[in-house]
Amino acid sequence: DEADRMLDMGFIPDIERIAKMIPFTRQTLFFSATMPPEIQKLADRFLQNPVRVEVAKPSSTAKTVAQRIVAAHNKDYEKRAVLRDLVRAEEAELKNAIIFCNRKKDVADLFRSLDRHGFSVGALHGDMDQRSRTTMLQNFKDGNLKLLVASDVAARGLDIPDVSHVFNFDIPIHSEDYVHRIGRTGRAGRSGKAFTIVTRSDTKYLDAIEKLIGEKIEWLNGDLSTLPAPMESFESNSGRRGKERGGRGRDRNRRDAAPVDNINQGAQSAADADIAAHGDDKVKAERKQEKAPRNSDRNSRNPLHANDDNRDRRRHYRDHDDGPTPVGFGDDIPAFMLIVANAKA
31-40, 240-249, 280-289 — most confident range: 31-40
Q: Quick check: is 246 in a domain?
A: no
Query: What's residue 270's pLDDT?
Result: 47
Backbone angles phi, psi at 55, to 5 degrees: -90, 140
Dmax (CA) of the chain:
126
**pLDDT value of position 315:** 59
- The percentage of residues in the chain with a pLDDT greater than 90, rounded to a whole number, is 31
Indicate whether 77 belongs to any domain. Answer: yes
Boundary of a domain, candidates 234, 265, 281: 234
Same domain assignment for residues 39 and 74: no
Classify the phi-psi angles of 215: left when phi > 0, otherwise alpha if psi is within -120 to 50, otherwise beta.
beta
| Residue 172 pLDDT grade (very low, low, confident, very high; cuts 50, 70, 90) | very high
Residue 33 has pLDDT above 80, yes or no: no
Round the average pLDDT of the chain to a whole number and report it: 75
- 298-319 mean pLDDT: 54
Kindly state the average pLDDT of the residues 33-46: 76
Report the distance separating Cα 167 and Cα 151, nearest Å: 12
Distance, CA of 106 to CA of 343 (rounded, Å):
86
Identify whether residues 101 and 205 lie together within a single domain: yes
Is the alpha carbon torsion for 314, 318, 322, 328 positive or negative?
A: positive
Residues 23 and 168 in one domain: no
CA 31 to chain centre: 40
CA-based nearest residue to 43, from 27, 57, 32? 32
Specify if 135 maps to a domain. yes
Q: What is the pLDDT of residue 58?
A: 62
Q: Does 64 have pLDDT greater than 50?
A: yes
118-155 residue pLDDT tens = 999 999 987 888 888 889 999 999 999 999 999 887 67
Q: Average pLDDT in the 63-83 region? A: 94
List the domain range (segments joined by +) for residue 97: 65-234
Q: Which of 208, 234, 260 is the last residue of a domain?
A: 234
Which of 86-95, 154-163, 262-271, 282-291 has the lowest average pLDDT? 262-271
- The 3-state DSSP class for residue 68 equals strand
Please check whether residues 228 and 98 belong to one and the same domain.
yes
Q: How confident is the model over 321-342, as pLDDT tens digits?
A: 444 445 456 566 666 666 654 4
Q: What per-residue confidence (pLDDT) applies to 12? A: 75
If asked whether residues 180 and 72 sit together in one domain, one would say yes
**170 in the same domain as 28:** no
The answer on 153 and 39 residing in a single domain is no
CATH of the domain at 129: 3.40.50.300
Measuring CA to CA, how many Å separate 91 from each of 95, 120, 147, 259?
A: 8, 12, 11, 68
Position 82 pLDDT exceeds 90: yes
Q: What angle do CA 324, 336, 345 make, to 5 degrees?
A: 70
The verdict on residue 292 lying in a domain is no
pLDDT at 168 over 90: yes
- Regarding whether 154 and 120 lie in a shared domain, the answer is yes
- Looking at the chain, which runs of residues are DSSP E strands? 65-71, 97-101, 121-124, 147-151, 165-168, 192-198, 218-220
The residues near 72 (Cβ < 8 Å, ≥ 6 apart) are 78, 79, 82, 197, 198, 199, 227
pLDDT at 23: 84
CA distance linking residue 253 with residue 89, whole number of Å = 54
The answer to whether residue 260 is domain-embedded is no
14 and 106 both lie in a single domain? no
User: Is residue 12 domain-shared with residue 85, that is, in the same domain?
Assistant: no
Which alpha helices (H) appear in 185-302, and where do they start and end? 203-213, 234-278, 280-301
98 and 223, same domain (yes or no): yes
Which range is least confidently modeled, 8-12, 81-85, 123-127, 204-208?
A: 8-12
Query: 23 and 137, same structural domain?
Result: no
Does residue 240 have a pLDDT over 60? no
| pLDDT > 70 fraction of the chain, expressed in percent and rounded | 62
Domain count, the chain: 2
- 82 assigned to some structural domain: yes
- Among candidate residues 173, 200, 234, the one where a domain is terminated: 234
Residue 309: the pLDDT is: 59
Pairwise CA distance, residues 183 & 89, whole Å: 22
pLDDT value of residue 334? 64
CA–CA distance, 31 with 34 (Å, rounded to integer)? 9
Quote the strand ranges of 44-172, DSSP E.
65-71, 97-101, 121-124, 147-151, 165-168
Position 200 scores a pLDDT of 93
- Does the pTM exceed 0.85? no
Instruction: Report which of residues 262 and 148 the model is more confident about.
Output: 148
